Amino acid sequence: MTKFIGLIGYPIKHSVSPYFQQAALDSYHLDIRYEAWETSPEKLEAVVTGLREPRNLGANVTVPYKEAVLPLLDEVDDLAGLIGAVNTIVKRDNRLLGFNTDAHGFLEGLRQEGHFDPEGKRVVVLGAGGAARAVCFALVREKVSSLIIINRTPVRAETLAETLRSYIGDSSPSLYSGLRPAGSEGLSTEVITLPGQNLSSGETFTHCHLIVNCTSVGMKHSPQESKSPFDIEVIPPGVLVYDLVYNPYPTRLLELAGKAGANILGGLAMLVYQGAASFELWTGKKAPVDIMLDKARKVLIGGKR
Ligand code: ATR
């Protein structure tokens, strides 16, 4: 019997995941179809419940449901619980388990394609939504020395910073180590928030090694498609600018960063590496990352969507 994996989101007509996931499944000759299941809000519960049907193996979850699916699942893994978002559902013994592979995808992209080791580095993160939460937890767990979070809506940045600080604080020596959140031992990142106006000041970025754009500014098909979250004058040469926006490539931000003498990394790496981790959770097989990257690049360049 053919099995199915779905992509649950709304809207998802521009998604690249069905192409590179199917290429990965086909490379193993698996009788599995990866399908885009565009799901309106009132159908979300029924679609997630439908995953219990024998033909379904699981799903990816994307905007805007990464938070909304949590209460619909039987179990949520520690990291997904901390981030508060699930992007991968796996059915095991008819139980629906939720994972977050975005944090892993972000780090793998950073290491494999950006050749960047985050430990001890100073980082500026733009945004405070679901993607920023995954990125910030990933960076704190990798022991960056400082993290500046800047968001259009400052209260969201402060809420995220508080969550991170209490996670880090829980890692200080305690008699009750059994109560610590998983994997939080020995963390010490300094977490700071700044208002959006600071994006126009070079001081914000002085001494930083990595800038990550987790906002949707610059995204294709959005009103900000040709915009950059900040100007060329504030970008220090030699910094790595990682834009999670993968379409278009390069984004306006990456164009400016390149001109400023910075190193640049687009969001395709994160997209493919999070998908590779999901593939391994569903199939138990090693993800053919090269095939997935190649397919994703071809689809984007070819503009097939
Ligand atoms: P995701 O799950 O992709 O992170 P999200 O939770 O909707 O999506 O978060 C989108 C992020 O992009 C937020 O940080 C948002 O800022 P606000 O918290 O102020 O909404 C940011 N963002 C979206 N459009 C923006 C714009 N035009 N200028 C600046 N930031 C923007």
Question: Read out DSSP for 132-156?
Answer: HHHHHHHHHHTT-SEEEEEESSHHH
Average confidence (pLDDT) over 171-175: 54
Question: Which residue type sits at 95?
Answer: R
Question: Which residue type sits at 253?
Answer: L
> What does the pLDDT read at residue 172?
55
Q: For residues 186 and 103, what is the distance between their CA atoms, to the nearest angstrom?
A: 19
User: Is residue 127 lining ligand 1, measured as CB closer than 6 Å?
Assistant: yes
Average confidence (pLDDT) over 7-31: 96
186 — pLDDT class (breaks 50, 70, 90):
confident
What domains are there in the chain, each with its CATH number? 3-101+271-302 (3.40.50.10860), 114-265 (3.40.50.720)
> What does the pLDDT read at residue 171?
62
User: Is residue 217 lining ligand 1, measured as CB closer than 6 Å?
Assistant: yes
Query: Residues 6 or more apart from 220 whose CB is under 8 A from it?
Result: 14, 247, 248
Atom 3 of ligand 1 has which residue's CA nearest to it?
Answer: 131
> What does the pLDDT read at residue 258?
98
> What does the pLDDT read at residue 178?
52
> What does the pLDDT read at residue 127?
97
In this predicted model, what pLDDT tens digit does every residue of 106-164 receive, in sequence order?
999 999 999 999 999 999 999 999 999 999 999 999 999 999 999 999 999 999 999 99
305 — pLDDT class (breaks 50, 70, 90):
low
Q: Is the bond leading into 64 cis (omega within 30 degrees of zero)? A: yes
300 Cα to the center of ligand 1, angstroms:
23
User: Is residue 148 lining ligand 1, measured as CB closer than 6 Å?
Assistant: no
User: Is residue 278 lining ligand 1, measured as CB closer than 6 Å?
Assistant: no
Average confidence (pLDDT) over 87-105: 97
14 — pLDDT class (breaks 50, 70, 90):
confident
Active site residues: 66
Q: For residues 189 and 154, what is the distance between their CA atoms, to the nearest angstrom?
A: 20
> What does the pLDDT read at residue 173?
52
196 Cα to the center of ligand 1, angstroms:
12
User: Is residue 159 lining ligand 1, measured as CB closer than 6 Å?
Assistant: no
The atom of ligand 1 lying closest to the CA of 224 is 27
Question: Which residue type sits at 76?
Answer: V
Strand 88-92 versus strand 56-61 pairing type: antiparallel
- Per the model's pLDDT, the better-predicted residue between 178 and 17 turns out to be 17
> What does the pLDDT read at residue 303?
63
Provide the edge-to-edge strand list for the sheet that holds 190-195: 190-195, 146-151, 122-126, 210-213, 240-243, 263-265
> What does the pLDDT read at residue 302?
78
User: Is residue 84 lining ligand 1, measured as CB closer than 6 Å?
Assistant: no
User: Is residue 224 lining ligand 1, measured as CB closer than 6 Å?
Assistant: yes
The atom of ligand 1 lying closest to the CA of 153 is 19
pLDDT of 175 over the 90 cut: no
> What does the pLDDT read at residue 256?
98
Query: Residues 6 or more apart from 270 whose CB is under 8 A from it?
Result: 102, 105, 106, 108, 109, 244, 246
170 — pLDDT class (breaks 50, 70, 90):
confident
- Tell me the helices (H) and strands (E) count for the chain, helix number first: 9, 12
In this predicted model, what pLDDT tens digit does every residue of 219-230 receive, in sequence order?
998 999 999 999
Mean pLDDT rounded to a whole number for the chain? 94
Strand 95-99 versus strand 88-92 pairing type: antiparallel
Q: Which residue among 135, 151, 247 is best mutated to probe the pocket of ligand 1, counting the most ligand atoms within 8 A of its Cβ?
A: 151
End-to-end alpha-carbon separation of the chain, Å? Answer: 29
Q: For residues 230 and 242, what is the distance between their CA atoms, to the nearest angstrom?
A: 13
- The fraction of the chain above a pLDDT of 70, given in percent, is 95
The atom of ligand 1 lying closest to the CA of 215 is 12
Q: For residues 18 and 15, what is the distance between their CA atoms, to the nearest angstrom?
A: 7
Q: For residues 211 and 134, what is the distance between their CA atoms, to the nearest angstrom?
A: 15
In this predicted model, what pLDDT tens digit does every residue of 48-60 receive, in sequence order?
999 999 999 999 9
288 Cα to the center of ligand 1, angstroms:
32
- Per DSSP, 178 falls in state G
